[in-house]
Structure 1
Amino acid sequence: MHVHAEVSARGTTSLSAELDSAAGTYFKAEHRHPTLPEIAAYYRERRMACVVFTVDAESATGTAPVPNEEIAESAQEHPDVIIPFAGVDPYKGRAAVRQIRRLVAEYGVRGFKFHPNIQAFHPNDRMAYPLYEAMEEARAIAVFHTGQTGIGAGAPGGGGIRLKYSNPLDVDDVATDFPGMRIVLAHPSFPWQDEALAVATHKPEVYIDLSGWSPKYFPPQLVRYANSLLRDKVLFGSDYPLLAPDRWLADFAKLPVKDEVRPKILKENAARLLGLTEE
């Protein structure tokens, strides 16, 4: 449920050199910039499908994203493995709304990724509401980065990235005001893990993906809720290429997850959310 396209066909990356370097160091990632065909081949080799997106934070950072159209076209070329999501910049207003409608109508994009820290906005900022209206109307899924981010970690001043924007309680307002929009809270939401669990248990259309952290570092309450109250709402995600799915799965196998819950997290919950099953 969580794969980043970090390099465009032109060879440009979606982060500045400073943020890109800091992220690579933080995650100790080896192959940081696979192309979209390489992503497809990597996941096909593992017999997995993957949700792929970019982050459009151009207004806040000055760096252009990987074009959403490239991801969508790659999904058309590799429909067995790539599920296209997109990134939209909330500061682009009406242009972003038009982009959402066009990407859904013309390319079959299934959802949209927001990274409040990099984009420098609170998810419940009213400026973003026209975007959510368009997404709710299109039945698109919203993915919000939550919790601390490795982007900018270790750089002077955190690379200018502020953590305050990623409290999942901000997303609770969005879930309240757009009850028809399905929402994924990305990552274990340190230091707001309990807030994320509260939102996901309270709002029926809010899910949690487990990307960005090795499972051996998951807070115990996250594992407890995944095994019980949220067993149908927790989703496998790696954060590739920052964190490889092979490592994630190896560490996940060591968690005390119930046998009947494990397939839900690894496949069934996401398949249902994405409409890939009739359930």
Structure 2
Amino acid sequence: MFLQERIGKQIIRSSQYRIGRDSIDPDSLRSLVKNHDFKVLGEISNQYEGIAPSDSRMHPYYALAEELNIPIAIHMGSGLPGHFYFEPKMTPLLSNPLELEPIIRKFPKLRISVMHYGEPFIDELIAMMGNFPQIYADIGGIQVYYPREYFYEYHLKKLVSAGFGKHIMFGSDMILFPELLGRAIEVINEAPFLSMEQKEDIFYNNAARFLNLDAK
């Protein structure tokens, strides 16, 4: 309660979900959205259990998110080095954004944030963004995971050059290493190929559009 009073509406409420770990059912999620101002379903972290995004057990949740017009955020990324050894069901195979196509075909109005932008499947992400404009990408800490030159040239610059600068959202993912947050911000601020407008889009404007926030 004290934290809520301090931050006001600066933090948006969302609900995490993972099959086999979390017991929240669709009716309970509906209550959170209707009565407690939850605005996002995510992080959906089924990848850690080796469960594909299109698993039919998720369909009631996707249907509800589409009905209530709340976006979802799905973990899709290769994970930490050696992830297999402490979460053996985690698989980078499920990082491929093409895995999202069956969901969108069944729930065509669903807004999806690809957390960690499904790296390293950049071409696949571009293909999905080109076909489905409701897909956005959250860079979520990967900007400090790879060497900066590599991230610039083969990931961020490629997405922007392909015309999807309006669909990239800043993310920090600095739960364990909050001291890296400053570096994560610098990576975007110091990108020589980004205009000021493009940086503003990544830091705020794109997320405001995706989350239906007041752009002001």
TM-score range, shorter chain: 0.7 to 0.9
CA contact (8 A) 1:201 1:229 kept: no
Percentage identity across paired residues of the two chains: 23
Distance in 1 (CA, whole Å) between partners of 2:127 and 2:84 is 33
Query: Aligned match of 2:130 in 201, 216, 231?
Result: 201
CA contact (8 A) 1:115 1:145 kept: yes
- Runs ≥4 in structure 1, deviation > 4 angstroms? 74-77, 91-95
CA contact (8 A) 2:17 2:45 kept: no
Query: Aligned match of 1:88 in 4, 11, 17?
Result: 17
Distance in 2 (CA, whole Å) between partners of 1:203 and 1:233 is 11
Name the structure where helix makes up a greater proportion of residues: 2
CA contact (8 A) 2:205 2:215 kept: no
Deviation of 1:156 (Å): 6.4
CA contact (8 A) 1:187 1:212 kept: yes
| Count of residues in Structure 1 that have an aligned counterpart in Structure 2 | 206
1:144 aligns with 2:68: no
CA contact (8 A) 1:88 1:96 kept: no
Query: Aligned match of 2:198 in 261, 266, 271?
Result: 261
Partner amino acid, structure 2, of 1:193: I
- Residues 79 and 226 of structure 1, relative CA distance in 2, 3 Å threshold: farther
CA contact (8 A) 2:95 2:119 kept: no
Deviation of 1:226 (Å): 2.3
- Residues 88 and 99 of structure 1, relative CA distance in 2, 3 Å threshold: farther
- Residues 252 and 102 of structure 1, relative CA distance in 2, 3 Å threshold: same
Aligned partner of 2:90 in structure 1 is: 162
- What secondary structure does 2:12 align onto? strand
Aligned partner of 1:220 in structure 2 is: 154
Deviation of 1:121 (Å): 1.1
RMSD, matched Cα: 2.7
- What secondary structure does 2:74 align onto? strand
Deviation of 1:141 (Å): 0.8
Query: Aligned match of 1:173 in 102, 107, 111?
Result: 102
- Residues 223 and 157 of structure 1, relative CA distance in 2, 3 Å threshold: same
Deviation of 1:203 (Å): 0.4
Distance in 1 (CA, whole Å) between partners of 2:40 and 2:51 is 19
Gaps of 5+ in 2: none
Matches within 5 A, 1:3-152: 75=4, 78-91=7-20, 95-113=24-42, 114-150=44-80
Partner amino acid, structure 1, of 2:109: G
CA contact (8 A) 1:184 1:207 kept: yes
- What secondary structure does 2:137 align onto? strand
1:192 aligns with 2:98: no
1:270 aligns with 2:200: no
CA contact (8 A) 2:188 2:199 kept: no
Partner amino acid, structure 2, of 1:161: K
Further displaced range: 88-97 or 114-123: 88-97
Deviation of 1:252 (Å): 1.7
Gaps of 5+ in 1: 1-35, 38-73
CA contact (8 A) 2:126 2:162 kept: no
Partner amino acid, structure 1, of 2:190: K
Distance in 2 (CA, whole Å) between partners of 1:275 and 1:169 is 25
Aligned partner of 2:188 in structure 1 is: 252
Distance in 2 (CA, whole Å) between partners of 1:155 and 1:236 is 24
- Residues 174 and 75 of structure 1, relative CA distance in 2, 3 Å threshold: farther
Deviation of 1:222 (Å): 3.4
- Residues 181 and 262 of structure 1, relative CA distance in 2, 3 Å threshold: same
